[in-house]
A and B are shown apart, each in its own frame.
Chain A
């Protein structure tokens, strides 16, 4: 699926790497274990909105932040990237299994970094979990804290 980079985009990537030294993007793919993709050190996924304990309306936008990694749509096998999953009122499953796709596990497979959710009134938990191109969490899993919101 992934198109091979042209020489121009590769040279741009080289300039980029020099520029974004703090992110230290290496063009070489990080070593991949047989199963799960390695998570880069310092990778962190977190909520911009909502925050833990917040009261929110029934329909609200969840905004997702990601540090030291990049976002790629599902199906794109590229080191140091993944796509977001929003876990609502559920716990993460076994880390070596693909994240299920249902009403509790919302896949943002097109590389989205925010999603509008509608929840019934009451208390709900939200958690973010990054998955690789096959929807399998990285090793170690890149996930946020589980936060609680109160839908009023």
Chain B
């Protein structure tokens, strides 16, 4: 309590006042009094209002005055806007973070940006030390809904009767772990992503996932596969077990149509191909795993032609795939291999493990190396759980770097 009091008063008076306050033994924290009739409210913002993603919030207070934080005058305080959070403890300073926005300069309005969806807003007045008054002066907690501006991005309309469906694949079907899935469509023109056309669109295959929000771009990840070049089939690799598949048409901006053109969500059962039993790592196990067409592995540091220190950390980037430790079988993942001063190995065989082929089997995404001075080449090659490169191989350019005992002399790019 003494500590709290010390925080409240100017340092010069601190000792005297702290003693006084300790003697009078006030209950709990020192909260500034507020008139019971004081009211705090939002200006022109009603509960359940629909708002754009970025808007101005205005605050009004009655029976009290706004003063910047730090000024100890009776019946004054400053605003705090609580976003998506409950009331903080009322006998302590209001936390300062992105859910508790302080207006310590005495502002009475602010512009905030919120993600689409529902959010709660509440105003809470607090004194010079950011502690709410007694009784607390606060507004109702209101809910606002951020809607994507419809005028900004109208959803493409779908032709009446347009539909998409799986060709020769019914609900409950059993398919091998690598299966060709064909997409059929009626009444909708297949056009590549980025090409606006009347009622046109491209396929998206939703794997093991619920329908995404229909008023915005379909996410692009391993559960939402885009066929932006207008493909109508895919070789899908799935681990054995139950999976769900659904087709959803997206327009040139990947936004579903209005009304959405989508198929039923079907369940499929994936069984391992014959011969791939754990007991016999036979031909099937040797097959190279498929990689996404747009997967890329690249050097974040160093870049081609850079001059580096003898001991440097080599950092790897990977686009459109994930990293998994060696031994972990999961579609669209692999682990890095750093090839130093060696040509690209045979892509049908496991990558050798020696001083020139460094395996990052723990899922590492960077590696510290020590090299003798001179010219060296680096290349990155991703491989699956058995160290076999993917098909098509995911490998980087072979870059050349110069190792100098003094390190980079020229200005270095980041």
Chains A and B form a bound pair: yes
A122–B55 alpha-carbon span in the complex (Å): 11
Name the segment of A17-25, A30-38, A135-143 touching the other chain.
Answer: A17-25
Q: Which of A59-102 contact B (CB under 8 A)?
A: 61, 63-67, 69-73, 76, 78, 80-81, 89-91
A23–B359 alpha-carbon span in the complex (Å): 12
A34–B358 alpha-carbon span in the complex (Å): 34
- Residue on B nearest A6 in the bound complex, by CB: B281
Chain B window 347-378, contacts with chain A (Cβ cutoff 8 Å), 1 for yes, 0 for no? 00010011100111111111110000000000
B328 x A116 contact (CB < 8 A)? no
How many residues belonging to B are interface residues under a CB distance threshold of 8 Å? 52
B329 within 8 A of A: yes
B54 x A121 contact (CB < 8 A)? yes
Q: Which of B41-76 contact A (CB under 8 A)?
A: 53-54
- Report if A111-B359 is in contact (Cβ < 8 Å); known contacts: A63-B300, A72-B325, A103-B115: no
Chain B residues lying within 8 Å of A124, measured Cβ to Cβ, are 113
- Residue on B nearest A115 in the bound complex, by CB: B221
Neighbour of A20 across the interface among B222, B365, B367, B385, CB < 8 A: B367
A147 within 8 A of B: no
Chain B residues lying within 8 Å of A116, measured Cβ to Cβ, are 220
- Report if A73-B330 is in contact (Cβ < 8 Å); known contacts: A48-B317, A114-B317: yes
B319 x A114 contact (CB < 8 A)? yes
Q: Report the minimal beta-carbon distance from A145 to chain B, rounded to whole angstroms.
A: 14
A80–B98 alpha-carbon span in the complex (Å): 31
Chain A residues lying within 8 Å of B328, measured Cβ to Cβ, are 2-3, 72-73, 76, 78
Q: Report the minimal beta-carbon distance from A69 to chain B, rounded to whole angstroms.
A: 7
Chain A residues lying within 8 Å of B278, measured Cβ to Cβ, are 3
B366 x A65 contact (CB < 8 A)? yes
B330 x A9 contact (CB < 8 A)? no
B368 x A81 contact (CB < 8 A)? no
- Report if A23-B362 is in contact (Cβ < 8 Å); known contacts: A2-B328, A12-B353: yes
17 CB < 8 A contacts A-B:
A2-B327, A2-B328, A5-B327, A16-B361, A19-B353, A20-B364, A23-B368, A25-B362, A72-B363, A73-B330, A103-B116, A108-B322, A110-B330, A110-B333, A113-B317, A114-B318, A120-B54
